[in-house]
Chain A
Amino acid sequence: NAGVTQTPKFRVLKTGQSMTLLCAQDMNHEYMYWYRQDPGMGLRLIHYSVGEGTTAKGEVPDGYNVSRLKKQNFLLGLESAAPSQTSVYFCASSYSWTVNTEAFFGQGTRLTVV
């Protein structure tokens, strides 16, 4: 029962470097999300996808890009990392986008940009 798997779990980047975070889910969920979690703040939505080939901006999309080429994978890219992007990133997926839908979260990726 893998659920939602994120890779990598930890990463240190230098300012200006790029990287891609991978989220994979094996529950055949249509909806996938990327959140960031910062100290003293609630989880904030970066981007989300409502199905293969679709993406949409969330609350804090600047500096990030995403792709959903396969239904089970949702990639989050940082083209030119900045210290402000130091955070813990969580991927989540859900069966649908309705009020009674449970979201399943990954283990998180701790990213430090120096």
Chain B
Amino acid sequence: KNEVEQSPQNLTAQEGEFITINCSYSVGISALHWLQQHPGGGIVSLFMLSSGKKKHGRLIATINIQEKHSSLHITASHPRDSAVYICAEWYSGGGADGLTFGKGTHLIIQP
């Protein structure tokens, strides 16, 4: 069974700090997703990547296929970045296709 592990589980930082959230998966992937969930809100897709690096505003996602590892970076963090960040791996194989989700990283940015 594919497993997706995120670290840290909880992260509190000061406004302006550079944030890194890590995601590791156990089997070879087809694609990895990063999602954002605000308190009391829905889930929004941030990135979908299967190689290299993607950037959107202050958010950067990278993936290393050989090491089965992905990172989400936030530059110049802001209190509005406070949310739960979830990575999910699209696994295709063995008759079981679909997304496997990590447990999420709860990020708090203090002003």
Contacts and interface: CB of A to CB of B under 8 A. Distances in A.
B93 to A, nearest CB: 11
Contacts, number: 52
A105 B44 contact: yes
B4 interface: yes
Interface residues on B, range: 20 to 34
Interface string B74-111: 00000000000010101010000111111110000000
- Chain A interface mostly: loop
B20 interface: no
Nearest to A106: B42
B101 A43 contact: yes
A99 B103 contact: no
A42 B85 CA distance: 11
B30 interface: yes
9 contacts: A4-B42, A40-B103, A42-B4, A42-B103, A42-B104, A103-B33, A105-B35, A107-B41, A107-B42
Interface of A: 4, 40-45, 48, 58, 90, 92, 97, 99-108
